């Protein structure tokens, strides 16, 4: 999962980044509205943490901008202001949640988990597809109830696949979801991880179909 943190306060931004980073997600930090908009133009995110008070524009504008593009990435607002009116407006604008500063990191993590879960169309902390079950918190995977070992990257890849079932995912798209902005690996690394994932999933009833020239597609097995 790939998360954008928009926060001008360097200290707070870094603190959040660290915390989120430890959850094992790809993460970008924008310190101005402009920067944020640029990044949003280039990259699709799975979650956005948005500070309202930015030096160059209000979080409001960023949010409007985002929704205008038909994006439905979940957004959590961070705000020092606690006037209910504003919050309502933001929720109506398309924010999904908000938190008042000072931020309680534990709660922030929980809310991130809840929203990420929802945007994947699941309301549980484990995602199941076929006989494969991901535990997002423990970062473990079971196939038919048997625990299997996945490396971090493999796990994240599988997470993206299961979160986008029914969609063909190109190597580029997959890279965007499991790498940071400043990382530019060769798209062929995806081939490697797909290969490893396939090996790990060979006893499961799902498999990754390659669609030549387009990407990969997660499917249930039907022999």
Task: Name the site residues for its own copies (rule: CB under 8 A).
Answer: 67, 70-75, 84, 87-88, 91-92, 94-97, 104, 106-107, 110-111, 113-115, 117-119, 121-125, 135, 137-139, 152, 166-168, 211-214, 217
Residue 195 and residue 104: Cα distance in Å, rounded?
40
Binding span for DNA by CB under 7 A among 83-91, 102-110, 119-127, 178-186: 178-186
CB-side neighbour CA atoms (13 Å) of 195: 5
Shortest distance in whole angstroms from residue 195 CB to its own copies:
20
Shortest distance in whole angstroms from residue 197 CB to its own copies:
17
Q: Would you count residue 2 as binding DNA (CB under 7 A)? A: no
Bridging pattern class, strands 146-148 and 26-30: unpaired
Our CB check for DNA shows the closer of 98 and 193 to be 193
Residue 133 and residue 122: Cα distance in Å, rounded?
12
Residue 38 and residue 218: Cα distance in Å, rounded?
31
Q: Which of 11, 68, 84, 183 binds DNA (CB under 7 A)?
A: 183
Q: Would you count residue 185 as binding DNA (CB under 7 A)? A: yes
Q: Would you count residue 51 as binding DNA (CB under 7 A)? A: no
Binding span for DNA by CB under 7 A among 42-50, 69-77, 112-120, 210-218: 210-218
Residue 168 and residue 155: Cα distance in Å, rounded?
18
Binding span for DNA by CB under 7 A among 59-67, 106-114, 136-144, 209-217: 209-217
Output b/e per residue, 89-111; b: 16+ Cβ within 10 A.
ebeeebbbbbeebebeeeebbeb
Residue 159 and residue 155: Cα distance in Å, rounded?
6
Shortest distance in whole angstroms from residue 115 CB to DNA:
24
Residue 190 and residue 141: Cα distance in Å, rounded?
19
Number of residues in contact with DNA under rule CB under 7 A: 22
Instruction: Give the E-state strand segments of 31-139 in sequence order.
Output: 47-51, 75-79, 97-100, 126-129, 132-135
Q: Which of DNA, its own copies, none does residue 183 bind (CB under 5 to 8 Å by kind)?
A: DNA
Q: Which residues bind DNA (CB under 7 A)?
A: 151-154, 171, 179, 183, 185-186, 188-189, 191-192, 194-195, 198, 210-215
């Amino acid at each position: 999962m790939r998360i954008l943190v928009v926060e001008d306060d360097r200290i707070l931004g870094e603190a959040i980044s660290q915390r989120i980073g430890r959850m094992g997600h790809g993460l970008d930090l924008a310190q101005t509205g402009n920067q944020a908009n640029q990044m949003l133009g280039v990259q699709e995110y799975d979650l956005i943490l948005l500070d309202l008070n930015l030096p160059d524009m209000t979080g409001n504008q960023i949010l409007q901008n985002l929704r205008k593009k038909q994006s439905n990435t979940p957004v959590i607002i961070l705000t020092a202001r606690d006037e209910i009116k504003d919050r309502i407006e933001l929720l109506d604008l398309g924010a999904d949640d908000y938190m008042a500063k000072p931020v309680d990191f534990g709660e922030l993590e929980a809310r991130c988990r809840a929203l990420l879960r929802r945007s994947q169309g699941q309301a549980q902390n484990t995602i199941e597809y076929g006989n494969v079950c991901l535990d997002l918190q423990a970062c473990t995977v079971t196939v038919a109830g048997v625990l299997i070992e996945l490396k971090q990257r493999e796990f994240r890849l599988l997470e993206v696949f299961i979160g986008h079932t029914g969609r063909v995912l190109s190597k580029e798209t997959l890279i965007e979801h499991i790498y940071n902005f400043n990382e530019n690996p060769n798209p062929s690394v995806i081939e490697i991880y797909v290969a490893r994932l396939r090996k790990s999933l060979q006893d499961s009833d799902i498999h990754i179909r390659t669609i030549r020239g387009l990407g990969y597609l997660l499917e249930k097995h039907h022999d």
